[in-house]
């Protein structure tokens, strides 16, 4: 096997980590975040919510079961880079079709292995998500820091993550029809709806309210996606126009968009929530759900008091808002991912709640 290229990861605080490259070899400027999931690197790699980010995997061994054809969450992953402790070059699984490295090469995702990911994660936890640069080991320090200083996060991530054309995803037996606004949607959300008898028409993030009404849906879904929720101006306005007219369900970014449409505010978390093991309390039942999460922003709790929304779920790690609802409008959203993939299935009942809201609206 050919000798691997060495590169270094440079952070805006001046920290430097050297490692070996796997996947693509290009330099990358990214926002650096971490994910605590123990499995599911394929779904993480292909989750559009990671657009423009470099992801540190805290689980030490990545790549050991390879990549299969069934578990992609998007057709065109937008992740910039993946940072790991150990990369498995010889995957072993009955469904494996290729090594992780080959997929990363195809989608131009740079990998760096041999990194002390525990030390790297501690830096992120202490200082927050940081700008990062993957570059050649001999790139001068002054040049690295200048590139990081000049680097700014793009504000068009949703535009790039969303579909550009309408797409119909039919259920085997259709009971309800939902328009899903794609802000960077994971495919397993569509799968979960299809299994419940919901035919899904996926539309671009900027489709107007009038064009959605013309599709005669029973309900509206607002998807997850990357970036700052305030950048989704068209989607926020669409939900503002449609609220109270249809049952609406939002996940992650969709939850934030719903909150903004009702007049609440959002803010950026220090280092976000990413992983498949986050405890969330249902404030209505008192039950604890273990959830899958991937987001940088949260809804401001105080700002909800000036809206028709109430908080329904809370993160037990930092007491941030994890769910909101307007009962009279049959509108609700959650900050986490009930469709999981990867992650636990504790929250699948939320899809049933969406079905019930559409049933009640039809019978009203």
Do 161 and 187 form a contact (C-beta atoms < 8 A)?
A: no
CA angle (192, 297, 191) in 5-degree steps:
10
Q: Show which residues are catalytic.
A: 252, 337, 339
Helix or strand or coil: residue 105?
A: helix
DSSP 201-247: EEEETT--HHHHHTT--SEEEE---SS-GGG-HHHHHHHHHHBTTB-
The pair of three-digit structure tokens given for residue 84, joined into one six-digit string: 């790991």
What gap in Å lies between CA 357 and CA 349, rounded to an integer?
13
Q: Which residue has the tokens 């940072």?
A: 83
Q: Which residues fall within 8 angstroms of residue 80, CB to CB, at 6 or more apart?
A: 28, 29, 30, 52, 53, 54, 109, 110
Do 82 and 58 form a contact (C-beta atoms < 8 A)?
A: no
Helix or strand or coil: residue 172?
A: coil
Q: Which residue has the tokens 């969330």?
A: 280
Strand pairing report for 219-222 and 176-182 = parallel
What gap in Å lies between CA 344 and CA 276, rounded to an integer?
7
């Amino acid at each position: 096997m050919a000798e691997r290229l060495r590169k270094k990861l440079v952070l805006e605080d001046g920290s430097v980590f050297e490692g070996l490259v796997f996947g693509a070899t290009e330099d990358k400027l990214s926002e650096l975040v971490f994910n605590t999931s123990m499995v599911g690197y394929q779904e993480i790699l292909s989750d559009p919510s990671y657009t423009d980010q470099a992801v540190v995997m805290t689980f030490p061994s990545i790549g050991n079961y390879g990549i299969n054809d069934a578990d992609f969450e998007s057709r065109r992953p937008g992740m910039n880079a993946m940072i790991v402790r150990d990369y498995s070059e010889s995957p072993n699984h009955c469904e494996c079709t290729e090594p992780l490295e080959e997929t990363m090469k195809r989608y131009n995702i740079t990998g760096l292995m041999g990194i002390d990911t525990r030390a790297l994660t501690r830096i992120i936890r202490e200082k927050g998500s940081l700008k990062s640069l993957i570059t050649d080991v001999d790139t001068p320090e002054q040049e690295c820091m200048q590139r990081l200083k000049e680097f700014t996060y793009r504000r068009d991530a949703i535009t790039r993550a969303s579909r550009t054309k309408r797409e119909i995803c039919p259920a085997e037996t259709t009971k309800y029809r939902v328009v899903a606004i794609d802000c960077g949607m994971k495919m397993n959300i569509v799968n979960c709806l299809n299994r419940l008898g919901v035919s899904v028409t996926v539309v671009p993030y900027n489709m107007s309210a009038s064009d959605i009404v013309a599709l005669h849906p029973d309900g509206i879904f607002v998807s997850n996606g990357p970036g700052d929720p305030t950048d989704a101006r068209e989607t926020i306005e669409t939900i503002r126009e449609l609220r109270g007219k249809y049952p609406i369900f939002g996940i992650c970014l969709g939850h934030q968009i719903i909150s903004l449409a009702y007049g609440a505010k959002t803010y950026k978390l220090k280092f976000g929530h990413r992983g498949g093991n986050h405890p969330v309390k249902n404030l209505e039942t008192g039950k604890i759900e273990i959830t899958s999460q991937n987001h940088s922003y949260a809804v401001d709790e105080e700002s909800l008091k000036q809206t028709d929304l109430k908080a329904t779920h809370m993160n037990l790690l930092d007491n941030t808002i994890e769910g909101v609802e307007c009962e009279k409008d049959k509108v609700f959203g959650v900050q986490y991912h009930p469709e999981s993939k990867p992650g636990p299935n504790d929250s699948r009942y939320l899809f049933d709640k969406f079905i019930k809201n559409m049933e009640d609206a039809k019978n009203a």
